């Protein structure tokens, strides 16, 4: 049952970020970020838009490069050389706001592309794995359709399955429900809750406070490129320490 729990690499944390600073040109977007995520832990990052949440998790799989600080995934340091970048990316799955399924490939082909190309998995085996995960996200019957024929919620579930097919140790979610119609948000969140239940290490940027409350071990609040507050969900929602957190929660929870 536990294909997500093959994490037996000693005591290395799933993700370790230390003293991370990042600039876009001369504009600093991340200030001295320190964050450690243990194996099996689920961390939700929230904060106002432009606070650097997405940039932070994009740094973790090197979609953005960083100028200062240490990023380690499963004990492997993320350097500026391409080898360490590829090493880290194969361990880290990422789900984007806009699903980003490949439109010229069927759902099944979307799922087997990376395993067959990057991991050199035989096609038959990759297809079996893909069907396994498509069943997990409850859309195996769509396997031979093209992305355009699926609803947004279905596409996002496929995107999750596609990432899982690489059997990552860590999953990053970058506002996975922000581009969805309200009635489709639930099906994607349910999929993520199920994934969390299996012990997957997850870092999730989201505005879904219900999800954070239900699933997260810790909630990280970011503002203006810095981590302002890290707390357990209960403490975070009932008794926020920082006044910026309070202001943010007032806005999010009241709308």
Partner 1 sequence: MQLIIDSLPLLWSGLLTTFKLAILTLLLTAIISLFVGIMSVSRYRLLRILALIYVEFFRDIPLVVNLLFVYFGAPLIGLSLDPFSAALVSFTTWGSANGSEIIRGGFNAIPKHQRESALALGLRPSETLFMVLLPQIVLPILPPFTGLFSLLIQATSLASMVGATEFLRTAKIIVERTTLMTGESPAFMVFGFVLCVYFCICYCLNLFTAWLERKITVARTVHQNDSASDDEHGAAAPASAGKA
99: its two tokens: 């699903």
The neighbouring-strand residues paired with 172 are: 94, 203
Shortest separation between residue 70's beta carbon and partner 1, angstroms: 21
Give the footprint of partner 1 on residues 74-113 (CB under 8 A). Answer: 86, 89-90, 92-94, 96, 98, 100, 102-104, 106, 108, 113
In 2-48, alpha helices (H): none
d(CA 74, CA 83) in angstroms, rounded, equals 15
* β-bridge pairing 170-174 and 226-231: unpaired
Shortest separation between residue 75's beta carbon and partner 1, angstroms: 18
d(CA 44, CA 193) in angstroms, rounded, equals 12
175: its two tokens: 């506002």
3 interacts with partner 1 by CB under 8 A: yes
For residue 231, give the H/E element and its range: strand 226-231
Cβ-based nearer residue to partner 1, 2 or 254: 2
Q: Beta-carbon neighbour count of residue 213 at 10 Å? A: 14
Give the footprint of partner 1 on residues 128-167 (CB under 8 A). Answer: 128-132, 135, 140-146, 148-149, 159, 162-163, 166
Cβ-based nearer residue to partner 1, 44 or 159: 159
Q: Point out which residues bind partner 1 (CB under 8 A).
A: 1, 3, 61, 63, 86, 89-90, 92-94, 96, 98, 100, 102-104, 106, 108, 113-114, 117-119, 127-132, 135, 140-146, 148-149, 159, 162-163, 166
């Amino acid at each position: 049952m536990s294909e997500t729990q093959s994490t037996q690499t000693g005591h290395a944390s799933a993700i370790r970020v230390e003293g991370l600073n990042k600039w876009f040109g001369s504009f600093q977007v991340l200030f001295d970020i320190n964050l450690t995520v243990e194996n099996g832990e689920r961390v939700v990052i929230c904060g106002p838009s432009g606070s650097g949440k997405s940039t932070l998790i994009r740094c973790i799989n090197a979609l953005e490069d960083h100028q200062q600080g240490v990023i380690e995934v499963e004990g492997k340091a993320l350097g500026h050389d391409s080898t360490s970048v590829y090493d880290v990316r194969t361990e880290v799955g990422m789900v984007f706001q806009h699903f980003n399924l490949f439109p010229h490939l069927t759902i099944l082909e979307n799922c087997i592309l990376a395993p067959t190309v990057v991991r050199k998995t035989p096609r038959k085996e990759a297809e079996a794995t893909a069907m396994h995960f498509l069943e997990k996200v409850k859309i195996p019957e769509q396997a031979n359709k093209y992305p355009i024929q699926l609803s947004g919620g279905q596409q996002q579930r496929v995107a999750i399955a596609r990432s899982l097919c690489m059997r990552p140790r860590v999953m990053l979610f970058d506002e996975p429900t922000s581009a969805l119609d309200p009635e489709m948000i639930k099906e994607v969140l349910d999929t993520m809750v199920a994934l969390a239940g299996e012990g997957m290490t997850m870092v999730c940027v989201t505005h879904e406070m219900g999800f954070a409350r239900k699933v997260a071990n810790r909630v990280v609040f970011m503002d203006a490129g810095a981590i302002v507050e890290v707390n357990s969900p209960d403490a975070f929602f009932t008794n926020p320490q920082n006044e910026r957190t309070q202001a943010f929660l007032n806005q999010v929870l009241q709308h």
